[in-house]
Structure 1
Amino acid sequence: MTVPISPQPLSRRIMAIWCMGLALDRWRLAEGCAAGAGADAEPLALIAETAHGPRIATVNAAGAEQGVRPGAMLADARTLCPQLAVRSADPAGDLAFLENLALWAQRWGPWSALDPPDGLLVDTTGTAHLFGGEAMLLADARAQLARRGLVARAAIAPTAGAAWALAHFGPESAILEAGDDLMDRLAGLPVAALRLDDDVLLLLRRLGLKRLGDLAGIGREALARRFRNRRSPGANPLVRLDQLLGRVPEPLLPVVAAEQPMVQRRLMEPIRHRPLLDRVLADLAEDMARALEGRGEGARRLELAAWKVDGDVVVRRLEMAAATRDPAHVCRLFAARLDDLDAGFGIELVRLLAPWTEPLALAQAELDAAAERHGTSLAACIDRLTVRLGAEAVRRPLPRASHLPERAQRWAPPLEPLPGLQEDFAFHERPLKLLDRPEPIAVIYEAPDGLPRLFRWRGGVHEIARAEGPERIAPEWWRERSSVRLRDYYRIEDSTGRRYWIYRHGLAGDGRGGAPEWFLQGLCA
């Protein structure tokens, strides 16, 4: 009798990739410099703007040899290294580059996750045999990353925490097998291998706990009492230690590629004349409409790219006020953007991409789309005005929850929905016309805190016949400094019947400046 043997479940294998100089490597790639070439010959740093001035975000090897360290103020770094060259850091661009790198890294496993700001985690469970073993997989990863111009380290372990610790602090291309004692193998690594916050690392060093093995010699109850109020994983060494050893699961968010609708035409012969390009655009718009209809979506942004014979690429972009997939409307909008296109020796490839789409339900073509076909709908009109005048010229004001008049509205896209505001922001009437900025006026009043009697504005003297107020508006303490003064607003009418909206900036003796100042901010009906 044969007894079937159930296959043993595969132990989880995680590969951690650490791009040690991601920001600098990305800058080198953008500038066309190779690592170790002229880019590293001179001290170079990428700086980030902060509230206290520019700080060093990252520095190359030449700058580090001169004593420049990340986090230092640029002025201090220039004191140590006067010849330091600086460029602006781009954290958003680095994150986008890392996301694309995570999708590319899925060649080694079924899914990958981000480990910001400069790392990746790849699930390689059951894939190592495709590369000849885990050692060969790591060698392939190093070779492929080097080919892309990235300096990186990699390690494989049963848990994400262990793989991260080895990639950052372990030997080159380290591998932890499933049956290894993780604590025994990792005991010599510093406590920074637990991915803890800086203040927690400082506290552990003050307690004399510098290695992971030191934590194993401390009772869990003692550590639990010390860090019982620390909820986040980065602030609690016990949580991070359990994740590293696989005692508790660590949630990871895989990076999933968002498919963007794209259609293209490879032309048998290059085209140079506008009527032929319009015909190709019409065909692409029809293809895009069918692709979007199959997805139940409409395009909010479209990109038309034309590849010339000489290798040059011309790109034209559109952003619509509302989602659409009407080919005729798309062609009308692109027509104005193609007037200045120079075909050169000819265009051989045309591609239409929809990077921004929104759900768009099917509608009756004979009734609901009649306005779209004739270009009379509001969204179609706004799109045509935007193409002609520019995106910044077609905006509408929307109310914003702020008592300060100059902040009570903002400019938004034409079809953006109205925000839900609280009723208490609308109980005071505001003038129909506000000046672009408040203008100073000279005011005569009976008492410093009394009603104004006479004011001078733009060379004219106005005698106040009636006054209403004050309406006191306090500064927004969560945005302003503590020295900002109060405002007392008055609705006034002069002897000729003209009405104004003025305010007194500050109070006499409030300790926040000199004498109160007066400003005219609006004209009342």
Structure 2
Amino acid sequence: MTVQDVSPVARTTMTASDPPRRILSIWCARLAIDRWRLAEGCERGEGPDAEPLALITETAHGPRIDAANNAGTAAGARKGMMLADARTLCPQLKVAPSDPAGDLDALEKLALWAQRWGPWSALDPPDGVIVDVAAVAHLFGGEATLLADAQALFEKRGITARLAIAPTAGAAWALAHHGPPRSILSPDDDMATRLSELPVAALRLDDDVITILRRLGLKKLGELGSVGRDALLRRFRNRRSPAANPLVRMDQLLGKVPEPLLPVIAQHDPLVQRRLLEPIRHRQLLDQVLADLAEDMARELEGQGKGARRLELGLWRVDGEVVVRRLELAAATRDPAHICRLFSEKLEGIDAGFGIETVRLRASWAEPLALAQGDIEQAAEQHGTSLAAFIDRLTTRLGAQAVRRPIPYGSHIPERAQRWQPPLESPPSEQEELRFHTRPLKLLDRAEPIAVLYATPDGYPQRFRWRGKVHEVTRCEGPERIAPEWWRERSTVRLRDYYRIEDSKGRRYWIYRHGIIGDGRGGLPEWFLQGLCA
């Protein structure tokens, strides 16, 4: 599943033939608890669900409650409360670990499933889904029937949901969370009047902003209109985020400002598998099955115009155990021989148990890959000049983090002027135009202090000792002054003056003086050697 960066909601121009915008907001109010209850096989109000229960997350200050069932809420447990405080109110409160990643995955699946009511849907984290239902309500017999159908299907799946339809995503969200059940806001209605009795929390604001509004005596949306817009603008002018600015949220709610949404689009990973007539236990047979799967995967990827960057090989044993081996490639490929060669090292020591009955190969990461002349790639492989194949072999042998290459990084501090990245990835676009002064061929891991035996005032040393040896300076170039990065350093960090020097034996060094006399940032300047020049 991926998210597309263009949303129909972001459009602000409409023609006379365009249908009015209609947005369905679905709020799964008890998503985490419903998932836990369904996993435990409990009906609503029966079994463990009838007992006070809270889902918790471990924090630095102790367990914190992420969600609570109805019995737990009635006993005093609240989201965000520390478990110790909740147990004070309800000693019999039971706990289970929360699963935020699983909740998000379930929400993504619900967003795709909800596209039965509209052409596209979007996530509304942490527990909501937005669906565009413009010009489709007549297929269900009207918007009221559509809401009834959606409510019935969610109840059938065992998920508690509140739904609402409105012309904007903000208005639909406000009604789903704070309005009557299955609310419908018609395009002909006066939205400001219909929503005026809702609390200010209906604006999807941060908790601290809601607290500020309540302290100002503004508890309902209609009361925001009684305060001058200029006054609110002055009060919240420094808050750029929409969730921290009630004026932006109100304009989005009323449709005066477009609110971009990211539609959810299903992506199906290329997958091939073999269900074997008889379980296999020998490596030779497994290699043959892998070769067949690699050929099938190559055809599947070629049909999609893609190449695999990450492959997962799953082996299902007769006893129910599943063995998974993963492979990440330096560049997109669909060469079956290359895939088999890399997986051959991953399959060493596989325990087949009583036999392997199913083998599955999936490309969990694929990139566009154009067709290439096979003879050129084959010649490169034969002569050992294929860089991607060479890097893949090194990565398989040494590990994913062992093969990296340095790239320039936007910092004038020498030890910070590079970063490491995967060998075949393109450098970030903003780094392509970086230009640096000439630097030594070799920089020391850490600049080493040198003892200056004689130096001219505010100049370079005439003689210095490094690693127990005294060096006479015969030539010098510089200085190149480098100031500290003020946005990340303290104000007491001193300047550096860099010099290229050559000693009496022709050896060249890159040294710098840390600080200048009288800068007020420490004592006398210190000298360091940081690199060796050619």
TM-score of the superposed pair, with normalisation by structure 2: 0.76
Q: Decide whether the 8 Å contact of 2:501 with 2:510 is kept in 1.
A: yes
Which letter maps to 2:270?
P
Amino acid at match of 2:360: R
Matching residue within 470, 491, 497 for 2:500? 491
2:26 counterpart letter in structure 1: A
Q: Given residue 531 of structure 2, which amino acid in structure 1 is its aligned partner? A: G
Task: Extract unaligned runs of 5+ from structure 2.
Answer: 1-17
- Give 2:509's aligned residue: 500
Contact in 2 for aligned 1:47/1:89 (Cα 8 Å)? no
Code of the aligned partner of 1:168:
H
CA distance in structure 1 between the aligned counterparts of 2:318 and 2:510, rounded to whole angstroms: 64
Kept after mapping to 2: 8 A contact 1:465/1:493: yes
Say which of 156, 165, 170 aligns to 2:164.
Answer: 156
2:65–2:79: 8 Å Cα contact kept in structure 1? no
Note if 1:141 corresponds to 2:154: yes
The one-letter amino acid of 1:382's match is: I
Q: 1:331: how far off?
A: 0.9
Q: Deviations over 1:324-368 (max 9, x none)?
A: 111111111111111122111222221111122222222333344
Contact preservation (8 Å) 1:400, 1:409: yes
Q: Distance in 1 between matches of 2:435 and 2:264?
A: 42
Shift of 1:220: 7.5
1:273 maps to: 282
Q: Report the residue type matching 1:397 in the other structure.
A: P
Aligned pair partner of 1:292 in 296, 301, 306: 301
Per-residue Cα deviation, 1:168-193 (whole angstroms, up to 9, x for no partner): 3345x443364776555533221121
Q: Which has the higher contact order (CA 8 A, sep 6+)?
A: 2
The equivalent of 1:4 in structure 2 is none
**Kept after mapping to 2: 8 A contact 1:363/1:369:** no
On the 8 A contact 2:65/2:78 being kept in 1, the answer is: no
SS in 1 for 2:450: strand
Q: CA deviation at 1:230?
A: 8.5
Q: Aligned-residue CA RMSD in angstroms?
A: 4.7
Partner SS for 2:202:
helix
Shift of 1:304: 1.3
Which secondary structure does the structure 2 equivalent of 1:393 belong to? coil
| CA distance 1:104–1:515, shift in 2 (3 Å) | farther
The separation in 1 between residues aligned to 2:104 and 2:451, in whole angstroms, is 53
Is the 8 Å Cα contact of residues 25 and 128 (structure 2) preserved in structure 1? Answer: no
Q: Does 1:116 align with 2:129?
A: no
380, 385, 388: which one pairs with 1:379?
388
2:435 to 406, 420, 425: 425
The answer (yes or no) to whether the contact 1:435–1:521 under 8 Å persists in 2 is: yes
Deviation string, structure 1 residues 252-294 (Cα, Å, up to 9, x no partner): 3310112221111122222211111111111111111111111
State the distance in 1 between where 2:476 and 2:98 align.
Answer: 54
Q: Could you tell me which of 21, 25, 40 is aligned with 1:15?
A: 25
SS where residue 484 of structure 1 aligns? coil
| Superposition pairs of residues 227-242 of structure 1, within 5 angstroms | 234=243, 237=246, 240-241=249-250
- Please state how far the C-alpha of 1:434 moved relative to its aligned partner: 1.4
- Give the 3 Å change call, closer, same or farther, for CA 510–424 of structure 1 in structure 2: farther
Q: Would you say the 8 A contact 1:57–1:89 is kept in 2?
A: no
Closer, same or farther in 2 for the Cα pair 1:162/1:55, shift >3 Å? farther
CA drift at 1:384: 1.5
Residue in 2 that maps onto 1:176: 184
- 1:279 aligned counterpart, secondary structure: helix
Q: Secondary structure at the match of 2:112?
A: helix
SS of equivalent residue, structure 1 residue 425: coil
Q: Report the residue type matching 1:155 in the other structure.
A: L
Structure 2 SS opposite 1:260: coil
SS in 2 for 1:392: coil
SS in 2 for 1:267: strand
What is the rounded CA distance, in whole Å, between the counterparts of 2:509 and 2:234 in structure 1?
65
Give the Cα–Cα distance (whole angstroms) in 1 for the partners of residues 190 and 313 of structure 2.
56
CA deviations over 1:442-473 (Å, ceiling 9, x no partner): 32344562322333333344444444332211
- Which whole-Å CA distance do the structure 1 matches of 2:452 and 2:66 have between them? 57
Secondary structure of the equivalent of 1:355?
strand
Percent of residue pairs identical = 63
8 Å CA contact 1:46, 1:87 repeated in 2: no
SS in 2 for 1:103: helix
What are the Cα deviations for residues 477-517 of structure 1, in whole angstroms up to 9, with x where unaligned? 23333332211222233344433222222233323334333
Pick closer, same or farther for the CA change 1:174–1:524 going to 2, 3 Å: same
Residues 320 and 16 of structure 1: CA distance in aligned 2, closer, same or farther (over 3 Å): same
Q: State the alpha-carbon separation in 1 of the partners of residues 78 and 170 from structure 2.
A: 31
Provide the TM-score with structure 1 as the length reference: 0.77
Deviations 1:204-248 (A, max 9, x none): 445533202324556889878988998875566565445435677
Q: For residues 43-62 of structure 1, what are the structure 2 equivalents within 5 Å?
A: 44-47=56-59, 59=66
With 476-485 and 459-468 compared, the bigger mean Cα shift is at 459-468
